[in-house]
Amino acid sequence: MGGILAAALAKIKARNKVCKDACRKMSDKSTCFKKCKIDQIKGEISIYQSNMSKCDKTKNPEKCKAYLEKKIKKAKVQLAKAK
């Protein structure tokens, strides 16, 4: 389970860095960062959902799926607040 989550976290951090670099060049940084944050959260949800199928290959698939579902739920709450 650790490998799956580490890969997901690396993808999320990479997206965040690209987004921040792009916003630095814009005049309306606050709107850009807000849009970036929303896109990042949507990407995070997508990554967690796509990794759900990999849980079947772990020692404890139920625990892995429950953990990812918890992360998805938390991200959806953050998404609602960001909008």
Amino acid (one-letter) located at 16: N
**Considering its fold, how many domains does the chain have in total?**
1
* Confidence at 27, pLDDT banded by 50, 70, 90: confident
C-alpha distances in angstroms, 43 versus 14, 47, 57, 59, 80?
Answer: 11, 6, 23, 26, 14
pLDDT for 65: 92
pLDDT more than 90, % of the chain? 28
- Spatial contact of 45 and 11, defined as CB atoms under 8 Å apart: no
* 61-83 mean pLDDT: 92
Provide the residue range defining the domain that includes 39. Answer: 2-82
CA 62 from chain centre, in angstroms, equals 21
